[in-house]
């Protein structure tokens, strides 16, 4: 957005958009670039330590399977969002907890190192007000979040350290139930939150960290909503009325989320949009492809590019050999429009899960995001409503969490 005379547009007292000289009826593309566009769940940090991978270089296409980098953020008008400290669920043993803790600290360090290496393009954000200030400088906004808080082990107070590192949103659970509570995609262990999980919610409130329900069970949702002093968030979820999957929220809970002042951020993960039958052979082959793509430190640029192209070709062959139903942009927009019709633009946003399994046919990476604005403009949504959808709702929830901390 370099070269644009940017100024904050206030909606209900919150800076949500940027604009240059006043224009009559801007095109959807121009309107999209006037907004502060935030994504509440970015898994791109898992690429930051990949040999030869550079966020300043254009990836994707015939190069590799990643979905976010600086050139595509600029092209897609994505001003930033919550970069996830994701840790796969490991054994709940002393050794397992230590390994997860160290992996989470390393991922947090990688996020900060990426920002430090590119100070003209990125800046860390810690408060809701930081977004407009950073966007006004033409930089990308980097909030930090935690996906799967199992790295806390048996000491929830470790969350204080992550807060000092910059974490402002945290989800307790991922695909597997853990010491904090039940997953939406695993067997029940606690019928909701564990005692430690309830302490986790209380400490998030104390620190001003937004509690993220995505991946947690319905019971966890109900208990989070009851226990939290501040609005919780669903950073990357979908609508169960559109596609019946346990990771999606039913209409009654979406309405409760909105009534509490919060927002559901719509996911583009294939299995949450369309039915995908289990395919163990494909999963094993996909794991082998990913393992083969790992390169040792010190690999040369030609070696890296060759490995990336080989990986891309192998994935194409995998899709040919083991085809699966693939969600489309229309499938994704059904979730968006259902949520908008249900609770309105003050309670819906986006968290497509880039580099974490998200992306649909017709919206493969962050460069495609203007298509969403174009569709919503055709449906009659005004600039102020789109400003809420694209960033204002998430910033309102973050501001409410920080206000509750001071109360």
Concatenating the DSSP letter of every residue in 196-236 gives HHHHHHHHHHHHTPEEB-TTB-HHHHHHHHHH-SS--BEEE
CA distance 37 to 33: 8
- Between the alpha carbon of residue 372 and those of residues 27, 333, 391, the distances in Å are 13, 8, 14
Give the domain extent around 199.
Answer: 8-20+30-280+326-406
Beginning with the edge strand found earlier in the chain, give each strand of the sheet holding 264-266 in spatial order. 234-237, 264-266, 348-350
Residue 151 lies in a domain: yes
Residue 273 lies in a domain: yes
Residue 320 lies in a domain: no
Residue 303 pLDDT > 80: no
CA distance 372 to 357: 19
CA distance 244 to 264: 16
Residue 319 lies in a domain: no
Of residues 334, 340, 332, 348, the one with CA closest to residue 388: 348
Q: Name the percent of the chain lying above pLDDT 90.
A: 78
How many domains does the structure of the chain reveal? 1
Q: pLDDT, tens digit, for every residue of 117-149?
A: 999 999 999 999 999 999 999 999 999 999 999
Residue 285 lies in a domain: no
What are the φ/ψ torsions at residue 9 (nearest 5 degrees)?
-105, 125
Long-range contacts of residues 106-111, Cβ cutoff 8 Å, at least 24 apart: 106/49, 107/45, 107/46, 108/144, 108/162, 108/165, 108/166, 108/167, 110/45, 110/48, 110/49, 111/45, 111/48, 111/83, 111/85, 111/142, 111/144, 111/166
Average pLDDT of the segment spanning 56-65: 82
What is the predicted pLDDT for the residue at 9? 42
230-249 CB burial, b ≥16 within 10 A, e <16: bbbbbbbbbbbbbbebebbb
What is the predicted pLDDT for the residue at 298? 64
Residue 289 lies in a domain: no
- Whether 47 contacts 54, CB under 8 Å: no
Q: pLDDT, tens digit, for every residue of 275-299?
A: 988 888 888 888 888 777 776 766 6
What is the predicted pLDDT for the residue at 62? 64
Residue 11 pLDDT > 50: no
CATH number of the domain bearing residue 144: 3.20.20.140
Confidence at 310, pLDDT banded by 50, 70, 90: confident
Question: Tokens standing for 166?
Answer: 């910059």
CA distance 189 to 181: 7
CA distance 217 to 39: 22
Residue 381 lies in a domain: yes
- Whether 363 contacts 60, CB under 8 Å: no
Confidence at 374, pLDDT banded by 50, 70, 90: very high
Residue 52 lies in a domain: yes
Computed over every residue of the chain, the mean pLDDT equals 91
CA distance 52 to 307: 11
Residue 5 pLDDT > 60: no
């Amino acid at each position: 957005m370099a070269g644009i005379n940017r100024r904050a547009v206030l909606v209900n007292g919150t800076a949500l958009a940027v604009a240059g000289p006043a224009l009559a009826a801007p095109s959807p593309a121009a309107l999209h670039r006037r907004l502060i566009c935030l994504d509440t769940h970015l898994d791109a940090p898992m690429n930051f330590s990949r040999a030869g991978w550079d966020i300043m270089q254009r990836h994707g296409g015939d190069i590799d399977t990643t979905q976010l980098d600086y050139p595509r953020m600029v092209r897609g008008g994505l001003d930033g969002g919550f970069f996830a400290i994701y840790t796969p669920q490991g054994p709940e043993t002393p050794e397992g907890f230590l390994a997860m803790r160290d992996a989470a600290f390393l991922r947090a360090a990688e996020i900060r190192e990426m920002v430090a290496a590119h100070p003209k393009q990125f800046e860390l954000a810690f408060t809701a007000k930081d977004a407009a200030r950073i966007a006004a400088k033409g930089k990308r906004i980097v909030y930090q979040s935690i996906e799967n808080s199992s790295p806390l082990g048996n000491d929830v107070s470790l969350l204080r350290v992550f807060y000092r590192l910059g974490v402002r949103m945290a989800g307790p659970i991922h695909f597997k139930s853990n010491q904090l509570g039940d997953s939406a995609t695993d067997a029940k262990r606690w019928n909701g939150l564990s005692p430690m999980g309830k302490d986790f919610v209380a400490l998030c409130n104390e620190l001003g960290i937004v509690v993220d329900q995505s991946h947690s069970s319905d019971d966890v949702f109900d208990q989070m909503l009851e226990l939290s002093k501040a609005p919780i968030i669903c950073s990357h979820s979908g609508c169960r009325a559109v596609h019946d999957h346990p990771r999606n929220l039913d209409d009654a809970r979406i309405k409760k989320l909105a009534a509490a002042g919060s927002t559901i951020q719509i996911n583009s993960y294939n299995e949450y949009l369309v039915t995908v039958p289990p395919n163990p052979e494909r999963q094993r082959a996909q794991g082998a492809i990913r393992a083969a793509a790992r390169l040792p430190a010190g690999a040369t640029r030609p070696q890296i590019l060759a490995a990336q192209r080989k990986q891309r070709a192998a994935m194409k062959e995998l899709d040919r050999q083991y085809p699966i139903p693939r969600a489309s942009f229309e499938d994704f927009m059904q979730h968006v429009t259902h949520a908008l019709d249900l609770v309105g633009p003050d309670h819906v946003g986006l968290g497509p899960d880039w580099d974490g399994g998200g992306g649909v046919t017709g919206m493969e990476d962050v460069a495609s995001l203007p298509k969403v604005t174009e569709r919503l403009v055709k449906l009659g949504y005004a600039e102020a409503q789109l400003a809420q959808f694209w960033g204002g709702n998430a910033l309102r929830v973050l501001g409410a969490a920080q206000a509750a901390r001071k109360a």
